[in-house]
Amino acid sequence: MKISRVTAYDLRFPLPAAAGSDAVHLNPVYSLAACVLEADDGTLGTGFTLTLGTGNDLVCEAIRYQRDAVLGGDPDELLAELGTRWHSWANEGQLRWLGPHKGVVHLALAAIVGGLTDLWAKKKQVPLWQGLLEMSPEQVTALIDFSTIDDYLSPEEAIELLETRSLGAEATKAQLDRGYPAYDTSVGWLGYDKTLLVENVLVSKERGYGAVKIKVGSRNLASDVERLAAVREVLGSDALVMIDANQIWGVAGAIRAGKALAEFEPFWFEEPVHPDDLVGYLCVRDALAPMRIAGGEHIPNQVVFKNFLQRGALDVAQPDVVRLGGLPEYLAVALMAAKAGVPVLPHAGDMGQLHQHLIYFTRCRLGMPELPLEMIPHLREHFLEPCTIEHGRYVTPKSPGSSSGLRPESINRFAWRATTPSGHPERL
């Protein structure tokens, strides 16, 4: 099998009013910069990153600049030494200056590597989770570029972690059979008023979710307090309620808010400050202990994750495979988090499509606790195989690939423009 065509699609999907809104991102247009790899036998591998609208075309252009990474290659060969190849892709001398390893070019790499990952699993005729569970420790470590992290985690340590932390065959099978618990982020967008918020929370509870996430960072802290109090009241003390500030506060503001909200026992406090602010995270975490601090949705690469884990800044690591540079960095972060003893519960910038696979890697191969994985139910109608939630749990996907395939109707209807192999943007 050879990759004969690489196409980028700029897809922009309208959302219902206030959906997706948080303290910092007031008016998001959920958009996918999608990368479709077409193999010579017609098989399609799809990868994407999520943006919030403006500039999604820049990511698509950056996909075009990087598509030679995979064009003409065989998925098996590319995957076999992915760590080495990824290193050279991510360090292309001219594009690298636009990062390095962050921003538009890195998001584009996520989409390309996502397409490759999907195609590889389809060629193997297995769901991505199965492909990852079947790899030897050595095969897993060959997917990773250790050059920037080996002062914290060497390939040998990674192999040892994989050898010693596995749940074992029986427990893995049981886990796959019962699926994986989800938490519902869509109840509590910041643009929803308190009445709608409470209604949503009740619907979510009826549907079987045992955990929800509420956006905080309202104009007045009193409003956050009131909203969280209302949610805690209707859900009772057993439900897990996460809060997410989406980076709105400085260190003092985050500490003040965390103290005001502590009485409602949030299960974690997510993105209290700017995502680059390692020292800020440490200050907030110290001041609010034992409140758990979560972050990672905007940690751009494995280097920054390494620093956050080395210094103990996170109680929950939230890498997002569609914001990191794809599978190699995701696995690197998972292994470093395992070493640090920090659970990995990804941010669902992929709407859960990919992470419903990857969660079995961290749960079954690294023995992480069965804490709930984010679920954002937007864009479901655009995926060929949207993830299935039953009684608040992800049902383990069975089809080959990474569940990233997009419906042709959606591509046609919502394409802003496509970048063809000839390099000319065109309206589909």
Residue 312 contacts a copy of itself per CB under 8 A: no
Residue for token digits 């005001």? 260
339 among known catalytic residues = no
Q: How far is CA 319 from CA 27, 218, 264, 292, in A?
A: 23, 25, 26, 16
Among 11, 104, 373, 389, binds a copy of itself (CB under 8 A): 104
Minimum CB–partner distance for residue 24 and a copy of itself (Å): 7
Write down the residue that tokens 């193999």 correspond to.
39
User: What's the rounded Cα separation, in Å, for the pair 404 and 402?
Assistant: 5
Report if residue 251 touches a copy of itself, rule: CB under 8 A.
Answer: yes
Of the candidates 315, 306, 307, the residue with the CA atom closest to the CA atom of residue 286: 315
Q: Does 102 bind a copy of itself (CB under 8 A)?
A: yes
Task: Tell me if 257 contacts a copy of itself by CB under 8 A.
Answer: no
3-state secondary structure (DSSP) of residue 175: helix
For a copy of itself, the closer of residues 103 and 386 by Cβ is 103
Residues 71 to 100: which contact a copy of itself by CB under 8 A? 91-100
Q: Which of 3, 8, 32, 59 binds a copy of itself (CB under 8 A)?
A: 59
**DSSP type of residue 426:** E
Residue 65 near a copy of itself by CB under 8 A = yes
- As a whole number of angstroms, the distance between CA 283 and CA 303 comes to 20
Binding mask 18-57 for a copy of itself (x = CB under 8 A): ------xxxxxx---------------------xxxxx-x
Per CB under 8 A, the list member of 36, 105, 119, 332 interacting with a copy of itself is 105
Q: For residues 107 and 137, give the distance between their C-alpha atoms in angstroms, rounded to a whole number.
A: 27
> Helix, strand or coil for residue 345?
coil
By CB under 8 A, what part of segment 275-304 binds a copy of itself?
Answer: 275-280, 283, 298, 300-301, 303-304
Quick check: 61 binds a copy of itself (CB under 8 A)? yes
Restricting to residues 137-156, name those near a copy of itself by CB under 8 A: 147-148, 150-151
The binder of a copy of itself chosen from 62, 182, 187, 364 (CB under 8 A): 62
Determine which one of 106, 123, 347, 378 is catalytic: 347
Q: How far is CA 300 from CA 171, 275, 276, in A?
A: 33, 9, 9
Minimum gap (Å) between residue 342 Cβ and a copy of itself: 16
Please say if 347 is a catalytic residue. yes
Does 229 bind a copy of itself (CB under 8 A)? Our answer is no
Among 311, 380, 407, 417, binds a copy of itself (CB under 8 A): 311
Residues 6 or more apart whose CB falls under 8 angstroms from that of 206 comprise none
Question: Which of 312, 255, 310, 318 is closest to 282 using CA atoms?
Answer: 312
Least distance CB 48 / a copy of itself (angstroms):
14
Q: Phi first, then psi: what are they for 85, rounded to 5°?
A: -65, -45
Q: At what angle do helices 221-235 and 251-261 cross, to 10 degrees?
A: 30
Q: Does 377 bind a copy of itself (CB under 8 A)?
A: no
Residue written as token pair 């195609």 = 119
**How far, in Å, CA of 415 to CA of 426, rounded?**
10
Q: What are the strands, taking DSSP E only, across 196-303?
A: 211-215, 240-244, 269-270, 293-295
Catalytic residue among 215, 306, 339, 378: 215
Number of neighbouring beta carbons within 10 Å of residue 151: 9
Draw the binding track, 378-417, toward a copy of itself (x: CB under 8 A; -: no contact).
Answer: ----------------------------------------
What is the C-alpha to C-alpha distance for residues 352 and 364, in angstroms, rounded to an integer?
18
Give residues 198-227 in contact with a copy of itself (rule: CB under 8 A). none
Report d(CA 415, CA 36) in Å as an integer.
13
Site membership for a copy of itself, residue 376 (CB under 8 A) = no
Q: Which residues bind a copy of itself (CB under 8 A)?
A: 24-29, 51-55, 57-59, 61-62, 65, 91-107, 147-148, 150-151, 247, 250-252, 273-280, 283, 298, 300-301, 303-304, 306-307, 310-311
Catalytic residues: 215, 347
